[in-house]
Structure 1
Amino acid sequence: LHGVNSANLFGFFVFQAMFCGTATTILSGAISERASFLGYLILAVFVSCLVYPIFGRMAWGGAIEAETVGWLNQQGFVDFAGSSVVHSVGGWVALAAIMVIGPRIGRFNKGLPPIQGHSIPMSTIGVIILWFGWIGFNAGSTLAMNNAVPKILLNTNTAAAFGGLTTLILTWILMKKPNVPHILNGVLAGLVSITASCHAVEVYQAALIGVIGGGLYLYSCHILEKFEIDDVVGAVPVHGVCGFWGTLAVAFFGNSDLLGTSLNFEQQLLIQIMGSILCFILAFGGTYFFLLLIKGIVALRVCKEHEVQGLNVTEHDASTEILDLLYSMEMQKNNGDFSEQVYVEPNTEVGQIASEYNRVLVKVNEEMNISLEARKLVELEHKKTTDSINYSSLIQHSILPDNAYFKNNFSDFFTIWKPRDVIGGDIYLFNEFEERNECLLMVIDCTGHGVPGAFVTMLVKAIERQVIGKINQDPNIEISPAWILGYFNKAIKTLLHQESEKSKCNAGFDGGIILYNKNKNLIKYSGAELPLFLIQNGAIEVIKGDRHSVGYRSSDFDFIFKEHEIIIDKDSYIYLTTDGYIDQNGGGKNFPFSKSRLKETLLNNHKKSFAKQKEILLQINMDYKGQEETTDDITFVGLKIETKL
């Protein structure tokens, strides 16, 4: 423009600069929310300095001089106000940028709702402003105030209206409700579609162009969704596709006299197609390869953290009152600290929200302080209870027999004692009678778990001391496991007043008692519900206990337990366990482990050392249980008796 003094040329330059700016800004909406500002600036310079001037020169060269010096307009190509030169250029550049930069985070994740626009009212106002501004675009392209302007204005508004109505009806039919964002873009689709031919068509033709433009817009949106191309504002369907359609509409509907190209329909259609394809090649192809070229040099996309936080903050440090409030609330949530109130912006709606939020914070802090004091009291009481239970566990451990007793009497052994809780209702007891050369093992499964079960074990221990006292007082007494179970039965029922059905207490145990006489190589066994597992000569036998528990209200006071005698004339492997191991649920289908599995396990491993057997049994129990809860306390004793030759 240096040395130019023509007012018309200056005005035309400004007019074209606005067109160029429009083509450039079409791109910004399509790649918003993830493109870097620097990347957009570089692309804007590329479009405004190369793509738009080159294609604009081809299509409009000589327009100010009323001459045809561009290659396309010399061939008869007509694009009155920029369906291709402005809108298709912007749309195809946007498509290239979208494909290179990629979709927004979460845009096409299955199960997530679609990302909604910020404000439909603001979008509506924006479309109304664009609609009004289109008067300047289309009517201004006459470069004069003449008789053609009124019809151009009428055609422009008609196409816009019918484009919006078309999308309203189609979305109502296809989506069951009229979709406002699509309706707004339908108006723009009609405007873009009529832009190339607004000077050369009749009003009814303008309406049809708008209808087709609205339909093409919706279909194009569907195609982009199908291929997961994330166009935020629908720039490609509105400007790229409808710009392409609007350029072809010149041939389909344009008055040849008004077009002034002296071409027939076929010739006009051919040059319109050629021009549209050339526009696509230059705008899309040129931009796509340019972006691939600079992609490794310039960060076209922001990092994930910045995208999630928002580009207005991370790229421009431009926050708002609502963002500041949300940030303060987020910090309180993350830190778990609600003691500080948020800032109240005076005389704004956000300030009113912040003020009400602060009132809630005051109430929350009052309730939290009350809860905190209550929590401290609960924690203190919990600590006292936990300390008592832990000390009770020490006491319960202290009454278990030392392993030295087992070493003195058996070739090999193992013991497993695993309460379900810190303390439990299982216990095993062992006594030696050196003068008799006998030993006595009791495995007891008392009522319940935890504290109640532990109380019953202490009662069992007390009664056991009575039994042992009676045996030690009379050297001639014959020790009988069956008699001992009967004694326990009567003692528990008497001590807990469980002879009567009106008794509120109902405690007792299932158990098994083994007496080993080393002089006679004889085992005596009596069981209350618990079986004894015996392996001799590679075969396993289950010696069942009586179907009668000890001490409960339902137990017969005078019940006589059965006593089994086992001659140890060969190497023998003896196992006695409470039902906690057998009844453990798990194994995928959440069924109990069962006696049959335990028999198989014992038979397969009885030749191994008892330390190894213990390890195997514990591992099998853990593997079978999996993620299920522990069902019951577990007590498991294994004994090996070798034949003395």
Structure 2
Amino acid sequence: MLTNPTNVINSYVPAIRENYISTSIIQNKAQNKLDALKSSNTFINSILGSLNSTLFIVDSKMRLIGFNDNNHLIFTRAEHEVIGFLFGKSCGCANANKNNGICGTTPACKNCNIRGSIVNCIQTKESTRNIPIGHTLFREQNDVKRELMFSTKYISYQEEEMVLVIIDDITELERQKQEIIKSRNEILGSIEYAKRIQQAVLPRKTKLNSVLGDHFVLYKPLNIVSGDFYYAASIGDWRIAIVADCTGHGVPGAFMSLLSITYLKEIIEKDGIVRPDIILNELRNSIIKALRKQNNNLALLEMDKQILEDVVESLSDGLDISVCVRNNKNNELLFAGANSSLYLVRNNEMHEYKGNRMPVGYYLKMDKFSYQKILTQKDDVIYMSSDGYYDQFGGNNGKKLKNKRFKEILVEISSLEMKHQGEKLLEVYNSWKAKEPQIDDVCVIGIRTE
């Protein structure tokens, strides 16, 4: 005998009515709690106020009982569709959606940082702050991956334990961050390649040994690439050593250093010029021409003094440089400098030979560079340096080392073997700098005469 379909349906009516009533009671209780919370001015002002973040209140059973007006940033459901429901379903968690909204029962739930933090917050009353996570939300019949930042805070209201959950959608920020990281990596890759190019044009150790003899080189770039450089070459009986400090450091300084090395090779190795003052004059002409800074001095001199100084400052691309040319056969040393000095230590006494007070580059008064002739003795120690070493901040008072102390250090180490001098100079520098950041490229060369 066939069962009457109407009777079958009617037999389920009590269960359906009971389940509906139960659900309605839960939702009504949750709504009543939300209404009670909203009636508390203190609570509203401190929690449910006008926030940029999305704010949720979750009870100890993981049910959503309240949220602020920014909930649309995370989900688009109406209030009656989320209040009283488990947090995962309310927020549109894709994992909960696939399992009929049973938040906490899916394989992914055990690894859910938000759920874990809420449970831990209830158990320990300890808060979490600014935890980044990637979470998949169910939106318009599709799974959408979002980057979120959340915090949890334990609260108690009318003797009921709850957790305040604050969520920010940082998807766009994360996208921008990844673009920045990608661009940064590309730039760093280019700079690393520039470093290899710069290292390729610096003289190799074998050449330094051949040209300079007993020597050391302390070379410590501030960044990956450097605005300081050193150069060595032999022309007949002459041995040429150069230390230079180009305008700026990092990439701008490195480009200027490559430009300068290229011109020095043409002037010295191709044209065979060895007199240091002529080298500097030719280098200045080449750099000014390359940078298109051949301004008419007469026109500039008609300007107001302050305007003139501003123009000169804006055209300050160039370098400070020391050029030392030695002839080992007659112990003759020729020196020319641009805003730099040559230091000679003989019998523990310091002798400083100052160069011209102008850079190699455009300058207000571009006189011809001059040179000095020095007769060296056996075991004299010659030093050339950029200003990066003695301009470094450090010590107990965070002040500059200064040139005076630098010269004292050179005298103190002058009796050591050249290799150990370089090591000692670096040790003193690092000790002085301590936790202070390096502020400039460092380049020091020391040569012991034969």
Structure 1 segments, 4+ long, off by >6 Å, are: 340-343, 348-353
**In 2, distance between residues paired with 1:370 and 1:334?**
16
Task: Assess if the C-alpha contact under 8 Å between 2:268 and 2:279 holds in 1.
Answer: no
Matched, 1:542 2:352: yes
> 1:132-184: CA deviations, max 9, x gaps?
xxxxxxxxxxxxxxxxxxxxxxxxxxxxxxxxxxxxxxxxxxxxxxxxxxxxx
Structure 2 segments unaligned to the other structure (5+ residues): 1-117, 136-147, 301-310
The amino acid across from 2:193 in the alignment is Y
1:377 to partner: Cα distance: 1.0
**In 1, distance between residues paired with 2:120 and 2:372?**
82
Going from structure 1 to structure 2, the CA distance change for 1:377 and 1:522 (only over 3 Å counts) comes to same
Going from structure 1 to structure 2, the CA distance change for 1:585 and 1:342 (only over 3 Å counts) comes to closer
Q: Secondary structure at the match of 1:464?
A: helix
The residue number in structure 1 matching 2:421 is 613
For residue 493 of structure 1, the aligned residue among 260, 263, 288 is: 288
The residue number in structure 1 matching 2:388 is 580
The answer to which structure has the higher helix fraction is 1
1:574 to partner: Cα distance: 0.4
Q: How does 1:221-620 map to 2 (within 5 A)?
A: 326-327=122-123, 330=126, 333=129, 336-337=132-133, 354=163, 357=164, 360-361=166-167, 364=168, 366=169, 368-433=170-235, 436-472=236-272, 479-500=274-295, 505-552=315-362, 554-557=363-366, 559-620=367-428
The amino acid across from 2:430 in the alignment is M
Q: Secondary structure at the match of 1:445?
A: strand
The amino acid across from 2:365 in the alignment is D
Task: Assess if the C-alpha contact under 8 Å between 1:491 and 1:551 holds in 2.
Answer: no
Task: Assess if the C-alpha contact under 8 Å between 2:212 and 2:241 holds in 1.
Answer: no
The residue number in structure 1 matching 2:96 is none
**In 2, distance between residues paired with 1:592 and 1:524?**
31
User: TM-score, normalised on structure 2?
Assistant: 0.61
Q: Secondary structure at the match of 1:391?
A: helix
Task: Assess if the C-alpha contact under 8 Å between 2:212 and 2:232 holds in 1.
Answer: no
| Greater C-alpha radius of gyration | 1
The residue number in structure 2 matching 1:641 is 449
Q: Secondary structure at the match of 1:570?
A: coil
Structure 1 segments unaligned to the other structure (5+ residues): 1-321, 473-477
Task: Assess if the C-alpha contact under 8 Å between 1:325 and 1:342 holds in 2.
Answer: no
User: TM-score, normalised on structure 1?
Assistant: 0.44
Going from structure 1 to structure 2, the CA distance change for 1:607 and 1:349 (only over 3 Å counts) comes to same
The amino acid across from 1:498 in the alignment is K
The answer to which structure has the higher strand fraction is 2
Going from structure 1 to structure 2, the CA distance change for 1:329 and 1:352 (only over 3 Å counts) comes to closer
Aligned length: 304
The amino acid across from 2:436 in the alignment is E
Q: Secondary structure at the match of 1:556?
A: coil
> 1:616-639: CA deviations, max 9, x gaps?
100100111111111210000000
**In 2, distance between residues paired with 1:564 and 1:463?**
23
For residue 439 of structure 2, the aligned residue among 611, 624, 631 is: 631
Q: Secondary structure at the match of 2:383?
A: strand
The residue number in structure 2 matching 1:132 is none
Q: Secondary structure at the match of 2:384?
A: strand
1:373 to partner: Cα distance: 1.4
Cα RMSD, aligned residues only = 3.1
Task: Assess if the C-alpha contact under 8 Å between 1:332 and 1:338 holds in 2.
Answer: no
Task: Assess if the C-alpha contact under 8 Å between 2:229 and 2:245 holds in 1.
Answer: yes
1:546 to partner: Cα distance: 1.1
Task: Assess if the C-alpha contact under 8 Å between 2:324 and 2:333 holds in 1.
Answer: yes
